[in-house]
Amino acid sequence: MFANLLIILASSLVVIALFRRLQLPPVLGYLCVGLAVGPTALDWVNDSEELPDLAELGVVFLLFSLGLEFSLSKMLSLRRVVFGLGSLQVLCCGLLLGGLLVLFGLSPTTALLLGAGLALSSTAIVSKELTSLGEVFSSHGQNAIGVLLFQDVVAVLLLTLVPVFAGASEQAWYWALPLTLGKTVVLFLGLLLASRWLLPRLFREVAASHSAELFVLLALVIVLLTAWLTHLLGLSPALGAFLAGMLLGESHYRHQIEADIRPFRDILLGLFFVSIGMLIDLQLFISHSLLILGLTLTLMLIKGCVVALLVQLRGSDGETAWRSGLALAQGGEFCFALMAQMQQSRLMPADISGLLLAATFCSMLLTPLLLRAAPAIALRLHRKPNQQVQLEEITVLNAELRGHAVICGYGRVGQSIGRFLHREQQAFIALDDDPERVQEASSEDNAVHYGDCRRGALLSAVGLERARLVVIAVDNSDVALTVLNEARRINPNVPILVRTRDDSQLAELKAAGATEVVPELLESSLMLASHALILLGLSDQQVKDRLDEVRQSRYQLLQGFNHDEGDTPLNPD
């Protein structure tokens, strides 16, 4: 076990560092590590019973972290997506994929069961990528998360049905379905009561002790205890962890909990993706490469198109529909467990199982790249009919505006800037892609519009050509760089102020045309340092001179330190 972990972690260290340099998603690196060190390639890692259990904890921690971002009210607002869109997606995709499997020679019962399994998507990959891209609370992100939650319940039901269809269980499917749903309701109610009466008292006591060690231990115990109780009920541990995180998401401690479990989550999730890669037979790619490619494209086309159609029928626009379809087009990690159990029960032959596993793996491998290219792909697949109308409305509203400021991103920082500009009676237009945030802001000010500020057409609609200032306040340096390039293309001369979390991309942003780059963590460090110097007896003018000196040298005095350690914001955008 220790030798296996050492090989996996050392290989991941090298590969992930390389993928970072190539600007590729880390998920792809972990999957490639598993494929390389697995038994069908280099065979460096031996079979271990502990490794899959350890890897599964990564998904548990990921779903718990994701649950922290959802309050109970937001989750209840998703109930139509979870049970409406989720059930339709599994039903439609399952029937279509099951019908194709019947043509491949499988029995109707086996084909429908396997088709339902292939209809499920990868909770781990989609959640991880949406979180890293900052798209969890976008329209397509909420569609994806809602459907994935329903799929977790269906996954447990399908595993229960395998022995039933194999003739090795006394329980009929019409008893298994309500029993699984009933257990889910009982679990939710139990966690709801605990989050209302027990957990706040525990966290209050631990916080009063001012012990970071106790706080980390309590967070870990809650995650693991929730997963264990869910497992005892015969449900997905990841589902229970999500519910626990969601109920704790309304507490004052959610940001600290998220910061404490992040290191455990990232490492264990990496092990999970490595374990998925190890399950694939590399020889199949050599002997059946074209067939695997065809199966992969067929799977992703069917699932992506069905999801896009269902989302559009529910009243969403074309871009949201296609981006939801791209997010859920892949097969899921659950297929590996389902196919292994079906093969053991002799419900399907090993050769078909191997091909489908390889196709599922390829679809998972493509997903991070698809999610990053989703805006451009969705725009090519379908131009929103109401998008042009929206642009025309925004253009008309701001046609007479001159010498105003454009704020890209109206979160915590953008709102603070807007308040200062409003107080000084300076005209501004703000853009944000969070519909709830825009709706709240629009009730107070009609200068806030919904939209993706990376779109050049939208920046032109708010009159960027006539603006005196552009403030890029988004909480993602890569997105900020894209917005900066687009803004410079439209107006080469306008001053552009860019907010970043740290100084990691300061030089790149300056080279792209930023007039000023303000690293948030470094500025907060300067404020603390200025107060410290004043309390130590230095005059106000001396302190001001020191701060000006540091800023003029582009924060060189503060560079070289680890700005991330212990600097997790209490209320990130």
CB under 8 Å to 6, separation ≥6 — which residues?
none
- pLDDT, position 184: 83
Q: How confident is the model over 118-144, as a mean pLDDT?
A: 86
Phi, psi of 471 (to 5 degrees): -115, 120
- pLDDT, position 48: 66
- Residue 33 pLDDT > 60, yes or no? yes
**Which of residues 303 and 82 earns the better pLDDT score?**
303
Class for domain 2-383, per CATH?
mainly alpha
Q: What angle do helix axes 350-381 and 26-37 make, rounded to 10 degrees?
A: 160
Report the share of the chain in percent with pLDDT over 70: 88
| pLDDT one-digit tens code per residue, 336-357 | 878 877 887 788 888 888 899 8
The DSSP bridge pattern shows strands 469-472 and 448-450 to be unpaired
| pLDDT one-digit tens code per residue, 532-548 | 888 888 888 888 888 77
Q: Please answer whether residues 474 and 480 qualify as being in contact, where contact means their C-beta atoms are separated by less than 8 angstroms.
A: yes
Least confident of 244-248, 345-349, 442-446, 517-521: 442-446
CB under 8 Å to 35, separation ≥6 — which residues?
41, 277, 278, 280, 282
- pLDDT, position 100: 93
**Which of residues 380 and 313 earns the better pLDDT score?**
313
Mean pLDDT of the chain: 83
The DSSP bridge pattern shows strands 469-472 and 405-408 to be parallel
The predicted model scores a pTM of 0.66
| Tokens 């340092």 belong to residue | 529
Q: Please answer whether residues 364 and 129 qualify as being in contact, where contact means their C-beta atoms are separated by less than 8 angstroms.
A: no
- Alpha carbon distance 396, 388 (integer Å): 12
Per-residue three-class SS string for 252-286? CCHHHHHHHHHHHHHHHHHHHHHHHHHCCCHHHHH
- Residue 308 pLDDT > 90, yes or no? yes
| pLDDT one-digit tens code per residue, 169-184 | 566 666 776 887 788 8
- pLDDT, position 560: 44
- Alpha carbon distance 57, 545 (integer Å): 51
Model confidence at 571, in pLDDT bands (50, 70, 90)?
very low
Helix, coil or strand: residue 449:
strand
CB under 8 Å to 491, separation ≥6 — which residues?
464, 465, 467, 470
Nearest to 337 by CA among 158, 545, 129: 158
- pLDDT, position 564: 45
Domain ranges in the chain?
2-383, 386-552
Using CA atoms, how far residue 41 sits from 33, 351, 363, 558, in Å, is 10, 19, 20, 46
Cβ density class 527-537: b for 16+ within 10 Å, e for less: eebbeebeeee
| Tokens 């559009």 belong to residue | 312
State the amino acid at position 20 in one-letter form.
R
Helix, coil or strand: residue 515:
coil
Model confidence at 390, in pLDDT bands (50, 70, 90)?
low
- Alpha carbon distance 303, 119 (integer Å): 7
First to last CA, the chain: 40
- Alpha carbon distance 462, 467 (integer Å): 9
Q: Say yes or no: domain 386-552 is CATH 3.40.50.720.
A: yes
Q: How confident is the model over 189-212, as a mean pLDDT?
A: 85
- pLDDT, position 292: 94
Q: How crowded is residue 137: how many other Cβ atoms within 10 Å of its Cβ?
A: 17
Q: Kindly state the helix (H) or strand (E) to which residue 133 belongs, with its residue range.
A: helix 123-133
- Alpha carbon distance 372, 327 (integer Å): 10
State the amino acid at position 317 in one-letter form.
D
Report the share of the chain in percent with pLDDT over 90: 21
| pLDDT one-digit tens code per residue, 459-479 | 988 889 999 999 999 888 888
Tokens of 435: 């519909």
Q: How confident is the model over 305-317, as a mean pLDDT?
A: 90
| pLDDT one-digit tens code per residue, 54-90 | 777 888 887 888 788 776 676 677 888 888 999 999 9
| Tokens 């944000």 belong to residue | 432
Q: Please answer whether residues 554 and 506 qualify as being in contact, where contact means their C-beta atoms are separated by less than 8 angstroms.
A: yes
- Residue 555 pLDDT > 60, yes or no? no
- Alpha carbon distance 173, 164 (integer Å): 7
- Residue 41 pLDDT > 50, yes or no? yes
- Residue 152 pLDDT > 90, yes or no? no
Partner residues linked to 500 by β-bridges: 519
Nearest to 158 by CA among 352, 350, 340, 304: 340
In 328-455, alpha helices (H): 334-344, 350-381, 385-397, 412-423, 435-442
CB under 8 Å to 63, separation ≥6 — which residues?
123, 127, 238, 239, 241, 242, 245
- Alpha carbon distance 446, 458 (integer Å): 16
- Alpha carbon distance 26, 509 (integer Å): 23
Q: Please answer whether residues 122 and 364 qualify as being in contact, where contact means their C-beta atoms are separated by less than 8 angstroms.
A: yes
- pLDDT, position 296: 96
Q: Please answer whether residues 468 and 403 qualify as being in contact, where contact means their C-beta atoms are separated by less than 8 angstroms.
A: yes
Tokens of 477: 């340096």
Helix, coil or strand: residue 516:
strand
- Residue 443 pLDDT > 80, yes or no? no
Total count of residues recorded for the chain: 573
Model confidence at 566, in pLDDT bands (50, 70, 90)?
very low
Which of 35-49, 214-228, 370-384 shows the highest mean pLDDT? 214-228
